[in-house]
Structure 1
Amino acid sequence: MAVKKVTVTLPEELVEALGSAAREDGVPLSRLVASAAESELRRRVGRKVVADWQAEHGAFTLEELAAARAEMAAADAEAFDVSGPAAA
């Protein structure tokens, strides 16, 4: 993928926190910022898909939302192994 250098203005505290996170992860600051931007764009696409679906089929019911939350919690538990000793 081609890259383009840009200039952005961010609060100093945010830049410091991002720099610390990048160093902790052993990645360049630009990679961390690019990853965050990509995540935001994916969330926007997801929200659009949900809005389009609801526009066609109607809003989710409370039961559907509860089932979705339970599925996400189960997926998180599996992905992050929250059943271990630290979770107790």
Structure 2
Amino acid sequence: MATKKVTVTIPEDLLEEIRADAAERGLSAYVAEALRAKLARNRLRELVDWLQEEYGPLTDEERAAARAKLEEINAEHARLRAEHGSGSGEAA
């Protein structure tokens, strides 16, 4: 994949935290991953907004069902991480 070097300004305290968290992946990989995640959240927000325009807001029951499903998925991810270890730094 082609890359391009850019210059950004980041508060020192944030940079220290990022460097500590990035570890072996490196700062560039960490920042690229964070930016991809931000773009994905933006796209998801656009989809949610569109769905609400088309079909209306979620009911309390639909929200509760979605939260329950997310808790189930998170519990399964936690189980898998515990079973297989989570030292890779990759998202499950």
Task: Report the alpha carbon displacement of residue 31 of structure 1 after superposing the two structures with TM.
Answer: 0.2
For 1:7, the equivalent position in structure 2 comes to 7
Q: How does 1:1-88 map to 2 (within 5 A)?
A: 1-23=1-23, 26-81=24-79
Count how many residue pairs are aligned between Structure 1 and Structure 2.
Answer: 81
TM-score with structure 2 setting the length: 0.83
Question: What stretches of structure 1 move > 3 A for 4+ residues in a row?
Answer: none
Aligned CA-pair RMSD? 1.4
Q: Percent identity?
A: 43
Instruction: Give ranges in structure 2 of 5+ residues lacking alignment.
Output: 83-92
Once residues 41 and 20 of structure 1 are traced to their aligned partners in structure 2, the CA distance between those partners, rounded to angstroms, is 23
Instruction: Give ranges in structure 1 of 5+ residues lacking alignment.
Output: none
Task: Report the alpha carbon displacement of residue 80 of structure 1 after superposing the two structures with TM.
Answer: 1.1
